[in-house]
Structure 1
Amino acid sequence: MADSIVVLGGGVIGLSCAFEAARRGMKVTLIEPGTTGGQASGAAAGMLAPYSENTEQPDAFFQFCLRSLRLYPDWIRDIEELSGMSAEWVRSGSLNVFMHEADVLPVETRMRWQNEWSARAELVGAAELRKLEPKLTASAVAGLYTPSESHVYAPKLVEALEAACRKLGVSVVEQAGALLDASVNPGGGATVRFSRLDGPVHAERLVVCAGAWSGEYGRWFGLSVPIHPIRGQICSFGHAAGEVRHMVFSSQAYWVGKRNDRLVCGASEDVAGFETSVTERGIGRLVRSSGRMFPHLAGKETLHRWAGLRPATRDGLPLLGEIAGTPSVIMAAGHYRNGILLSPATAFIVADLLEGKRVEPALAAFAPDRFTPAAKIGLGH
């Protein structure tokens, strides 16, 4: 087991990996170029919805998401007990709402296979749908109700994770600035340098959790890391308790009611590089969808508008595991829109790797060097 660990990135994935490694007795330093939770993590709606977000088949990614959902109860309890803070985990269940009868038939196939994986989903008609969500539009013809899905309040989860990390002795270094270089040492271990830190930082193992910025590390380790930012624009409305009771999904948007009297609506997605501003076009689409799905929101002003950068890979799957030929470095990045959901499962896998344990063969689908020609792996620059 490695004793000296440096986690690069202070989003929810980096904090989760630091938390799990520290509570297994490792000495951990977490380095964040800016502020913890400052990008995709802090901007996320916090949905724990593996069934609603994986609708095609029970592939390796779906099973990874489901595994993580099942870890959540004990994981959240441990974080909240150690930090003394609430992550506002709400076991709301979800409703996928359909506006046309033609959309319902394919859902029956989806429901069958998902119920084989413990979804406990049921198809409800228009009358039952409005009993579950009284504010819903009368135009909705049916819905898929999945009681096992839930959500957390992402900013509070990040805050609680950071506090729990500090309680465990993790050294959290924020405002480190830009990455200057990263290298694997010939005798073992690795070294990184950041523009605002005095001198290099050495570690036995590096865990790269840099989200949309993880691609910067590829050239140092001889990897092709095709992670690029997808801007997710989100808005919120004022929301009385119980007005929207479940996570509601449509083909146009989703809605999640939070305990802070806000109804979060997202996500308008576009490719805009590392730009985190919001646009009238992106938010306008969400506002129009909200008015159609929930008539009481028609004409209502948003209370807040924001955007986060989601780290997407070429095939939509995360990069997770040791780099072949460079075992000092573990990648845990590219979780796209599932970072909150996948935090516990990712952290457990990373900690197992740090302890030298074998991980299941299914993780080969997420190999961090899968985009790199074999002859170039580990060569660096």
Structure 2
Amino acid sequence: MKKVYDVIIVGAGVIGCSIAYQLTKRKKKVLILEKGKIGHKASSAAAGMLGVHTEFNDNEELLKAAIKSRDMFPALSQELREISGIDFEFTQNGMIKLAFTDSDQSALLRLADVSKDAVWLPEEEVSRLEPGLSKRNKGGLYADKDGNVSAQKLTLSLASSAVRLGAELKDFSPVIGLLRDDGSCNGVMTRHDTYYSSEVIVAGGAWSGEILSTAGVDISGYPVKGECFSVVLEAPKIKRTIFTEGCYLVPKQGNHLLVGATEHPYTFDESITVGGLNGLMNKAIELLPDLIYGRWEKAWAGVRPKTAGTAPKIGRVPGWKGLSVASGHYRNGILLAPLTGIMMAELMEGKEISPLFRLGDIDERMLKSESKN
């Protein structure tokens, strides 16, 4: 029997599950296909930071989009808990992005002026808020509305809520090809079955390019491995997330402290290296000296999807009817998941993504070739 859906989503990470949730709220018949376990790749490895000022310094539109998405989390937390019964541990503990050079300080002062969502604090004010930090910084940008979540629980709550609202989810179902008919995409093939739909959305994270390449599409993305570790402290040493360009500290429930992350581009290798962890530990201890008393918990790595710029690729694939992509969120997949879900759901309803929140349409030049098959 032919299996037909309104929308097929390829990838059950946080982005794919957010899209599925928003589509099922709109009564769409949705199928989610995941090649492994639900949320088992970057979505489970992420620190869960909701930091709008971490890397959107030079793009005011992206900064506004990040703020909009972050501000959806309080309501989303309650909404998903009521549907799925899963608490994804949303906390609005704030974030401080530290400066260590005059150049850092100038950049963060400019960002504070553009953002209007954060304030500059001199070193003595940073120390008053977080006395456990070392005093070698020149101050920091403080965003009191930023926070963090459990990335894995967020993904599971979105997936569970989507399924409860009618979506079908099939894990261990890798997509091996897209069904094409005269410039239209009307379904997908897995190793075991074929599924048909009016729309296909590729949300496979770092593996999106591999999937889209079967249709001759290049989204100019690449994988970036990040290594992290966590410790358990006897008592809380910081209250807020601390972010620097080379290291971040994220306090979690139960005196757990998550430390991340290294960056190894162009690799899908998820192994953990001694050198990577050693460098990360040294940076973390420089920031928070009492970290040396922490009890080791675990280390892990995840592969994040990066694009050539700072913006993810969200929108329809030029030259194709019924084929869209939502990928390349890099270190901001958790933060941008709510907004991405709504944007893609609206796109499936025939609405245009407004210029303010269009996070990076796929350019015609990114097509390897026009499909004529």
TM-score range, shorter chain: over 0.9
1:66 aligned partner, one-letter code: I
Q: Could you tell me how far apart the structure 1 residues matched to 2:357 and 2:140 are? A: 33
Residue in 2 aligned with 1:67? 68
- Deviation per residue, 1:266-319 (Å, 9 max, x gap): 111012521001111111111001111111113655321101000011223211
Residue in 2 aligned with 1:20? 22
1:31 aligned partner, one-letter code: L
Let me know the Cα RMSD of the aligned residues: 2.2
Q: Could you tell me how far apart the structure 2 residues matched to 1:365 and 1:322 are? A: 12
Aligned with residue 163 of structure 1, among 141, 160, 167: 160
- Structure 1 position 187, deviation (Å): 9.7
Residue in 1 aligned with 2:35? 33
Structure 2 residue matching 1:332: 3-state secondary structure: strand
Q: Could you tell me how far apart the structure 2 residues matched to 1:276 and 1:45 are? A: 16
Structure 1 residue matching 2:30: 3-state secondary structure: strand
| Structure 1 segment 348-363 matched on structure 2, within 5 A | 348-362=342-356
Q: Could you tell me how far apart the structure 2 residues matched to 1:149 and 1:290 are? A: 20
- Structure 1 position 173, deviation (Å): 0.2
Cα gap change, 1:225/1:280 in structure 2, threshold over 3 Å: closer, same or farther? same
- Deviation per residue, 1:199-247 (Å, 9 max, x gap): 2111111111011111123333332222211001111111355421001
Structure 1 residue matching 2:246: 3-state secondary structure: coil
Residue in 2 aligned with 1:376? 369
2:24 aligned partner, one-letter code: A
Q: Which structure 2 segments of 5+ residues have no match?
A: none
Q: Which structure 1 segments of 5+ residues have no match?
A: none
- Structure 1 position 330, deviation (Å): 1.3
Cα gap change, 1:277/1:138 in structure 2, threshold over 3 Å: closer, same or farther? same
Q: Percent identity?
A: 28
TM-score by length of 2: 0.92
Matching of residue 181 in structure 1 with residue 183 in structure 2: no
Aligned with residue 150 of structure 1, among 143, 147, 150: 147
- Structure 1 position 365, deviation (Å): 5.8
Cα gap change, 1:328/1:286 in structure 2, threshold over 3 Å: closer, same or farther? same
Residue in 2 aligned with 1:4? 6
Q: Could you tell me how far apart the structure 1 residues matched to 2:79 and 2:142 are? A: 29
Structure 2 residue matching 1:290: 3-state secondary structure: helix
Cα gap change, 1:18/1:57 in structure 2, threshold over 3 Å: closer, same or farther? closer
Name which of structure 1's ranges 303-312 and 313-322 shifts more when overlaid on structure 2: 313-322
CA contact (8 A) 2:91 2:148 kept: yes
Matching of residue 51 in structure 1 with residue 53 in structure 2: yes
Q: Could you tell me how far apart the structure 2 residues matched to 1:192 and 1:230 are? A: 27
Q: Could you tell me how far apart the structure 1 residues matched to 2:130 and 2:182 are? A: 61
Q: Could you tell me how far apart the structure 2 residues matched to 1:27 and 1:343 are? A: 20
Structure 1 residue matching 2:245: 3-state secondary structure: coil
2:92 aligned partner, one-letter code: R
Cα gap change, 1:49/1:371 in structure 2, threshold over 3 Å: closer, same or farther? farther
Name which of structure 1's ranges 321-330 and 229-238 shifts more when overlaid on structure 2: 321-330
Matching of residue 295 in structure 1 with residue 289 in structure 2: yes
Structure 1 residue matching 2:305: 3-state secondary structure: strand
- Structure 1 position 364, deviation (Å): 5.7
Residue in 1 aligned with 2:187? 191
| Structure 1 segment 164-313 matched on structure 2, within 5 A | 164-177=161-174, 179-186=175-182, 190-195=186-191, 197=192, 199-240=193-234, 242-271=236-265, 273-298=267-292, 300=294, 302-313=296-307
TM-score by length of 1: 0.90
Structure 2 residue matching 1:283: 3-state secondary structure: helix
Q: Could you tell me how far apart the structure 2 residues matched to 1:148 and 1:286 are? A: 27
- Structure 1 position 104, deviation (Å): 2.6
Q: Could you tell me how far apart the structure 2 residues matched to 1:28 and 1:149 are? A: 32
Q: Could you tell me how far apart the structure 2 residues matched to 1:15 and 1:364 are? A: 20
Q: Could you tell me how far apart the structure 2 residues matched to 1:113 and 1:299 are? A: 39
Residue in 1 aligned with 2:134? 137
Residue in 2 aligned with 1:95? 96
CA contact (8 A) 2:233 2:295 kept: no
Matching of residue 113 in structure 1 with residue 114 in structure 2: yes
2:148 aligned partner, one-letter code: H
- Structure 1 position 252, deviation (Å): 2.2
2:10 aligned partner, one-letter code: L
Structure 1 residue matching 2:322: 3-state secondary structure: strand
CA contact (8 A) 2:73 2:90 kept: no
CA contact (8 A) 2:186 2:199 kept: yes
Q: Could you tell me how far apart the structure 1 residues matched to 2:42 and 2:144 are? A: 26
CA contact (8 A) 1:221 1:326 kept: no
